[in-house]
């Protein structure tokens, strides 16, 4: 999707914050290595730029979801090891191996596809074990069979063994201990059969912060890299000094006074008993400002004040109740995520309004929104809207 550079809507990502977050996480993980999870365009922040900042901060691996995401990073001259966090389609494994990417394997079909191309390429596989989440991964019995088959074939490489937690971000969790026990039992089976597991990894953001015994050789960190807590576990984020890196803003494109009692936007459900000034910002649900926000009390920042969404969010525009703000004018900055004056709104705030998670808010931000990584670049671009 082409960024809409012709309208005053933008996201600013502070790469110094990303780098510092990576430094903090690398320190917390030590002596384990840090895998920065940059799938879904680095949770909406920009995969290439974030990857470079994370590596500068100490990350030694990058985690992605798709082959296309991995290729994008390699074509950007990023040389760090890249791990596909799921098993690719069997027909795609040759291309994955051709590029030298590491990938998950957890089925005989996936392993067979790797064996078939091993004459030309050496597949680097991470055996994923299902320890109780029941999404993807091999059972312990299936995993042991796969591990034997890999170990017996000199053309194949068992580069790592891993699993994934289901509840490590839950303050009432007891299942994580069970999963860790199941994972350790599988590692013991490999040791019993003299199979080298390679790089052992299990911890996500929550486990990095809460369960040091899960760190093993590598930790895979996503949401914490972007400065947000793995919901609902948030206190450690603030304690460690991790900060959000992304702000989302727009400029008011229109102001209008609406008579008392008249509704605004689709459905005309938002009405004031007195005459009201409304501002229009050229951003909507096609950009990731989810329609439900206007129904659940969400706010924006305007002239350093919190102001409510007015009426239904539309595809490309949103109305804002300007209330009694003095001297509001076209071109004023509206903050959806970020700080203005002494007030701040975070992606976590928006997620709370929607009873969802920060991940959904950040990854919903459309590619229509241009991303800027320096104040100078952003300010120069904004000059056209003066």
Q: Is residue 368 one of the residues assigned to a domain?
A: no
Regarding whether 177 and 61 lie in a shared domain, the answer is yes
Catalytic residue among 30, 39, 99, 121: 39
> What domain count does the chain have?
2
Q: Which of 217, 240, 263 is the last residue of a domain?
A: 240
Q: Is residue 358 one of the residues assigned to a domain?
A: no
pLDDT of residue 155: 93
Regarding whether 324 and 197 lie in a shared domain, the answer is no
Q: Do β-strands 61-64 and 82-84 pair in parallel, antiparallel, or remain unpaired?
A: parallel
Q: Is the pLDDT of residue 202 over 70?
A: yes
For residues 312 and 284, give the distance between their C-alpha atoms in angstroms, rounded to a whole number.
10
Q: Is residue 317 one of the residues assigned to a domain?
A: yes
Q: Which of 15-24, 137-146, 157-166, 287-296 has the lowest mean pLDDT?
A: 287-296
pLDDT of residue 237: 59
Regarding whether 259 and 158 lie in a shared domain, the answer is no
Q: Is residue 374 one of the residues assigned to a domain?
A: no
CATH of the domain at 315: 2.40.37.10
Q: Measuring CA to CA, which residue among 12, 7, 9 is closest to residue 375? A: 12
pTM to 2 decimal places: 0.94
Regarding whether 306 and 257 lie in a shared domain, the answer is yes
Q: For the chain, where are the alpha helices, taking DSSP H only?
A: 15-29, 39-43, 47-56, 67-75, 93-99, 108-116, 140-151, 175-192, 205-210, 235-240, 347-354, 358-363, 375-382
Q: Is the dihedral of CA 83, 85, 86, 91 positive or negative?
A: negative
Residue 354: phi, psi to the nearest 5? -100, 0
| Owning domain of residue 293 | 246-345
Regarding whether 47 and 135 lie in a shared domain, the answer is yes
For residues 179 and 134, give the distance between their C-alpha atoms in angstroms, rounded to a whole number.
11
Q: Is residue 380 one of the residues assigned to a domain?
A: no
pLDDT tens string 258-296:
999 988 898 999 999 999 999 999 999 999 999 988 877
**Residues of the chain above pLDDT 90, percent:** 84
Dihedral angle computed from the Cα positions of residues 62, 64, 69 and 71, in that order, rounded to the nearest 10 degrees: 50
> What 3-state class would DSSP assign to 201?
strand
pLDDT of residue 236: 58
Residues 177-200, mean pLDDT to the nearest whole number: 96
Q: Is the pLDDT of residue 324 over 90?
A: no
Regarding whether 307 and 164 lie in a shared domain, the answer is no
> Which residues are 199's β-sheet partners?
160
Q: Is residue 285 one of the residues assigned to a domain?
A: yes
User: Which residues, at least 6 apart from 43, have a Cβ–Cβ distance to it below 8 Å?
Assistant: 222, 223, 226, 359, 362, 363
- Does residue 376 have an active-site annotation? no
Residues 304-327, mean pLDDT to the nearest whole number: 93
Q: Is the pLDDT of residue 233 over 60?
A: no
CATH of the domain at 65: 3.20.20.10
- Does residue 121 have an active-site annotation? no
Catalytic residue among 30, 193, 266, 329: 266
Q: Is the pLDDT of residue 109 over 80?
A: yes
Q: Which of 222, 240, 258 is the last residue of a domain?
A: 240
Regarding whether 268 and 228 lie in a shared domain, the answer is no
Q: Is residue 126 one of the residues assigned to a domain?
A: yes
Regarding whether 276 and 212 lie in a shared domain, the answer is no
Q: Which of 328, 345, 362 is the last residue of a domain?
A: 345
Regarding whether 112 and 94 lie in a shared domain, the answer is yes
For residues 60 and 292, give the distance between their C-alpha atoms in angstroms, rounded to a whole number.
39
Q: Is residue 254 one of the residues assigned to a domain?
A: yes
Regarding whether 36 and 126 lie in a shared domain, the answer is yes
For residues 379 and 375, give the distance between their C-alpha atoms in angstroms, rounded to a whole number.
6
> Which residues are 200's β-sheet partners?
161
User: Which residues, at least 6 apart from 257, have a Cβ–Cβ distance to it below 8 Å?
Assistant: 275, 276, 277, 278
pLDDT of residue 101: 97
Regarding whether 200 and 254 lie in a shared domain, the answer is no
pLDDT tens string 40-62:
999 999 999 999 999 999 999 99
Regarding whether 134 and 225 lie in a shared domain, the answer is yes
pLDDT of residue 232: 56
């Amino acid at each position: 999707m082409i960024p809409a550079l012709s309208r005053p809507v933008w996201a600013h990502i502070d790469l110094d914050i990303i780098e510092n977050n990576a430094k903090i996480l690398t320190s917390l993980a030590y002596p384990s290595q840090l895998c920065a999870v940059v799938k879904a365009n680095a949770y909406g922040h920009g995969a290439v730029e974030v990857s470079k900042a994370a590596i500068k901060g100490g990350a030694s691996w990058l985690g992605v979801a798709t082959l296309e995401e991995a290729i994008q990073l390699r074509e950007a001259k990023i040389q760090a090891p890249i791990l596909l966090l799921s098993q690719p389609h069997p027909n795609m494994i040759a291309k994955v191996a051709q590029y030298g990417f590491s990938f998950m394997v957890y089925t005989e079909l996936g392993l067979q596809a790797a064996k078939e191309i091993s004459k030309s390429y050496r597949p680097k596989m991470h055996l994923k074990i299902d320890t109780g989440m029941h999404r993807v991964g091999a059972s312990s019995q299936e995993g042991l069979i796969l591990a034997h088959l890999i170990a017996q074939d000199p053309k194949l490489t068992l580069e790592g063994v891993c699993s994934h937690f289901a509840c490590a971000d839950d303050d009432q969790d007891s299942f994580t201990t069970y999963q860790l026990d199941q994972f350790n039992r599988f590692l013991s089976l490999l040791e019993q059969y003299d199979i080298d597991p390679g790089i052992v990894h299990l911890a996500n953001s929550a486990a990095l912060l809460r369960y040091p015994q899960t760190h093993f050789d590598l930790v895979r960190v996503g949401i914490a890299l972007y400065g947000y807590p793995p919901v609902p576990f948030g206190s450690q984020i603030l304690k460690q000094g991790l900060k959000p890196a992304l702000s989302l803003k727009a400029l008011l494109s229109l102001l209008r006074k609406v008579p008392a009692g008249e509704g605004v936007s689709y459905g005309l459900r938002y009405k004031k008993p007195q005459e009201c000034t409304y501002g229009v910002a050229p951003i909507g649900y096609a950009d990731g400002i989810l329609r439900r926000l206007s129904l659940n009390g969400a706010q924006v920042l305007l002239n350093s004040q919190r102001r409510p969404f007015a009426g239904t969010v539309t595809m490309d525009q949103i109305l804002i109740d300007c209330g009694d703000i003095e001297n509001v004018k076209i071109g004023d900055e509206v903050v959806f995520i970020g700080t203005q004056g002494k007030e701040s709104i975070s992606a976590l705030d928006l997620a709370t309004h929607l009873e969802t998670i920060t991940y959904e808010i950040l990854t919903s931000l459309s590619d229509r929104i241009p991303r800027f990584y320096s104040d100078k670049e952003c300010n120069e671009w904004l000059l056209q809207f003066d």
